[in-house]
Structure 1
């Protein structure tokens, strides 16, 4: 029996004329690796048929360090669809597999993202991003894992028990895990972690290599490399406080996306003639929105920003002159 005939005879009707080209990623900025995590994932994907190893990966790290960006860039690099499941405790089986919907007075079956990913894998490789998988309740994880192992299939009770079979080798699964004391999560046990194969720990790029993140900021914003470097160093000071277990009020580091917003806002504030644009941009683009529910953390971060960046110019060579003056002042104070 063909798929089309099966769709008519099993359960409620369904329209599966999907154009998975719509799920392709475009204009994704280059992903800058912490170490070699992207290269290793791509290598595993290239030889998956020969090794028989399923392409399953787990990315762990603090929020905003680039885990989701890595998955989007990998899908863009491979020119394959990306289907995302956002992990949350309220996620139910129907959110993954699908559910009935009313269309023009007819009850139709609407496939969920997990079902669509399996269907897409029949046609070719597809990246399935399980974002924050450690927030998913155990009942929903059971449904997920039935599709992630070498069976590569799910059963749709709402369609009369229809089995949707995918190609496990074409289903490239990237799961992300936010790590840190501020996250309410469901623990992944050892067996669950094994299902994801290789695990990569990612942190804020600037903590690994200041120059790499500074170049990323200067490439994607109008600010100069010297100013980008100072912004990244300041972000690192805040990030280091988030990892300090000795009573720091800051419990989360500054994501790279917010560092980019900080730099763009500083440049805009300079153009608008605002005083102390780098500090004010930090307040408005990073500290107020990111630490909105943690006043103590926001105030501590403000002091870090002011200590390092107060008075720094945003335009061109003036930054280097300012830094030279600051170094001379520090040296003078040290010899006094």
Structure 2
């Protein structure tokens, strides 16, 4: 039965990921020891794609949870629900992952309430157990289970950060946007657009990233550059594609939009 469940979480096609350092080797070694891993980096820099790539490479099922402020411990662990046959226990995604030996990826974990996050603590030390208090069960994690979390440390306020008691249960990998040449290669590979066009998109992104903290909360992510490249590859005018994917989503401030539009006009004219 567990193999049937695991099958639906296996990644069938290899996700493209371009390594920019030793992150693949480090994660592989951490997985061999089932070490919990924290991925730290800005929005859209490739953290989720990296986890998908590693799950495929390691042949492990991947269960991803998009964390949010309304998520409760029961959403992660499970709860009793009523159906036509009466009251029945339903495992949450964290419990399913621990049972079947999947990689459980908690995306943007800092968005969850701190009283929710603490339920992962017994899984992230030598115990590797998950207490299911409402069910009266102490679940010992499968030998292949691994917990991975991600968050963007530059975007969090002092009131919304991980506790040290949580941080120090994880090994950590830092991610950032790749160097210009590598990022252009990624965009061209992902979208099918010309490399010269991809290089121009990266230059626009670098100008926007320099504005972070000076009118922008976040710079243009690699993800948004891929969107722009995809639109251009579909035959959309580059200036219009950039307006849709690089300018309008990023800010509503008229002055900042004008600044970004000027950066686009430097490389593309409509």
Task: Tell me the TM-score normalised to structure 1 length.
Answer: 0.74
- For the residue of structure 1 that corresponds to 2:134, the secondary structure is helix
- Across the aligned residues of Structure 1 and Structure 2, the Cα RMSD in angstroms comes to 2.3
Q: Does 1:235 align with 2:205?
A: yes
For the structure 1 residues 139 and 18, does the alpha-carbon distance in structure 2 shift closer, same or farther, using more than 3 Å as the test? farther
Match of 2:238 among 278, 283, 302: 278
Q: 2:146 corresponds to which residue?
A: 172
User: CA shift at 1:296, angstroms?
Assistant: 4.1
Q: 1:334 corresponds to which residue?
A: none
- For the residue of structure 1 that corresponds to 2:26, the secondary structure is helix
- 1:91-132: CA deviation from partner (whole Å, max 9, x where unpaired): 2111111112223242211100111111012xxxx2111111
Q: 1:204 corresponds to which residue?
A: 177
Q: 2:261 corresponds to which residue?
A: 302
Task: Tell me the TM-score normalised to structure 2 length.
Answer: 0.90
- 1:11-65: CA deviation from partner (whole Å, max 9, x where unpaired): xxxx97852111011334321123211221113323x2xxxxx422111111111
Between Structure 1 and Structure 2, the one with more helix by share is 1
Q: 1:11 corresponds to which residue?
A: none
| Mapped contact 2:3–2:100 kept (Cα < 8 A) | no
Partner Cα distance (1:239, 1:267) in 2 = 24
Partner Cα distance (2:196, 2:157) in 1 = 34
For the pair shown, which has the larger CA radius of gyration, 1 or 2? Answer: 1
Partner Cα distance (1:240, 1:109) in 2 = 51
For the structure 1 residues 18 and 297, does the alpha-carbon distance in structure 2 shift closer, same or farther, using more than 3 Å as the test? farther
Q: 2:86 corresponds to which residue?
A: 106
User: CA shift at 1:143, angstroms?
Assistant: 0.8
> Number of aligned pairs?
270
Match of 1:37 among 23, 31, 46: 23
User: CA shift at 1:183, angstroms?
Assistant: 6.1
For the structure 1 residues 158 and 181, does the alpha-carbon distance in structure 2 shift closer, same or farther, using more than 3 Å as the test? closer
Q: Which moved more, 1:100-109 or 1:134-143?
A: 100-109
